[in-house]
Each structure stands twice: as C-alpha cells, then as structure tokens.
C-alpha cells in the first residue's frame, strides 16, 4: 500500500499535483477512517502517481496524477463524492484545492 | 507576519507553487530557528504570495510565488543558500522539491 507519510516516488515531470490544504473541525466524526479509505481508493484509480500528507493544525495533502483527466475522474468517483460532501459539511472548517502542473523536480536528495 | 500554519490567501491563478517534502534527521540542530527565519525572509522577497507548512513525520511546505524568476531569486538568496547547504548536510534525511504552475483553485470553502 502507498504510504502518504513518505516522500512520493513520482516519475519525471510533467505531471499534475492536487494541493489540498485544510483546517479541521473539532472531533473525528469518521474523518480518519474515510481519509485512509480515500488513499486506498485513489491508488487504484488510473493515472495515480503518489500521495504525500501531513497535518499539525494545518493539513496538507498533495496527490500526484498523470493528467487532468485522471484528476477529474477521481473527483467524480462515487465514494469520493460522498467524502467531499461530508468534508464540506462536517470535517473541514476551511479548505482550498489547487491544481498545478509540476514542471520541475529539483535537488532530490535521498 | 505571514503564518505558515494557515491556508494561504493567494490570488487568482496562474501562479507558481514550490512543493518541498522532507524527512528530518534526529535532533533540532538549529533547524527550527532557521525555518522560521526563512519564512521571515521569503515574505520580503519580490513575488512572494504565501506559504503553507505542516509536519508530522513527513514535512510538507508549499510556498507560492508569482513567477519562476521570483523562485530563482529566492533560491539564490544568500541566507537561503546557506540554509539549503545545512539542510542537505545536517537537517534532512531526504527531501524533494517540485516546482509547479497552479492552473486552478477549486472548491474554496472558508
């Protein structure tokens, strides 16, 4: 299984990044289990390249995809749609989703 | 002062994101003070748009800029050069820097 708390091994650019930044509401309310499930499903989707995630107060999840079509398909996935709905109404006090084209991958040190 | 633990208020795309993902070595070794200082200097640089940062094991810092020229100038800034050198030799077990063009900013909920 892909680990979201490791540095993602992505291919040579170009590829796409979805940068999702969020602040949570109080309490879990089923959030953690759904977050794990979303990573599980995302990695079965065509065009998935990797995911990186961290939270301390602010949460940042960066998910990598090979095309905008792959991102659109993931956004429309049924369980993910339901998670987005619950995110909006229950889990997030605020959030922002940015879609970016990775043009360079510099200074890798591993 | 710009807070790196809040969602950045960025302008309408397009603009650029530097996605810096890292795993730390053991101990602080002057890291925290330098990290704070780098945010302080970055926000005085031309073209700086905002920064978001989180770490739990994996660290993710996303810094937003108005152009590739602004990113190059920040990379070349003297104190930042020294911090990059110490990052490579002392602070990071591994890291990856991705440069991406933000094309869309979706579903903002605040």
Q: Does B79 touch chain A (CB under 8 A)?
A: no
Distance from CA of A104 to the nearest CA of B (A): 5
CA distance A56 to A71: 26
Q: What is the dihedral of CA A105, B108, B66, B63, to 10 degrees?
A: -50
CATH code of domain A15-102: 3.30.70.100
**pLDDT confidence of residue B52:** 97
What DSSP state is assigned to residue A52? E
Distance from CA of A57 to the nearest CA of B (A): 7
Q: What ipTM did this prediction achieve? A: 0.94
For A107, what's the count of Cα atoms within 13 Å in the CB-facing half-sphere? 19
* CA-wise closest residue to B21 among B95, B94, B82: B95
Distance from CA of A89 to the nearest CA of B (A): 10
Q: Are A80 and A74 in contact (CB under 8 A)?
A: yes
**pLDDT confidence of residue A64:** 98
Q: Which of B12, B74, B80, B109 to mutate to test the interface with A (most CBs of A within 10 A)?
A: B109
**pLDDT confidence of residue A109:** 62
Q: Inter-chain contact B52–A21, Cβ cutoff 8 Å?
A: yes
- The partner residues of B19 in beta bridges, in order of sequence, read B62, B98
Fold of the CATH domain B22-102: Alpha-Beta Plaits (3.30.70)
Q: Where are the domains of chain B?
A: 22-102
Helices B68-76, B78-86: axis angle to 10 degrees equals 70
Q: Inter-chain contact B19–A19, Cβ cutoff 8 Å?
A: yes
pLDDT tens over chain B, length 110 residues:
567 889 999 999 999 999 999 999 999 999 999 999 999 999 999 999 999 999 999 999 999 999 999 999 999 999 999 999 999 999 999 999 999 999 999 766 65
pTM for the full predicted model: 0.95
């Amino acid at each position: 299984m892909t680990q979201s708390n490791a540095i993602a091994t992505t291919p040579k650019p170009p590829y796409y990044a979805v940068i999702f930044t969020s602040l949570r509401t109080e309490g879990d309310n089923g959030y953690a289990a759904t977050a794990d499930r979303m990573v599980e499903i995302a990695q079965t989707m065509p065009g998935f390249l990797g995911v990186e995630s961290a939270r301390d107060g602010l949460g940042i999840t960066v998910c990598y995809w090979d095309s905008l079509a792959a991102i659109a398909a993931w956004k429309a996935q049924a369980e993910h749609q339901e998670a987005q709905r619950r995110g909006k109404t229950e889990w997030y006090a605020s959030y922002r989703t940015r879609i970016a084209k990775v043009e360079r991958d510099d200074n890798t040190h591993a």
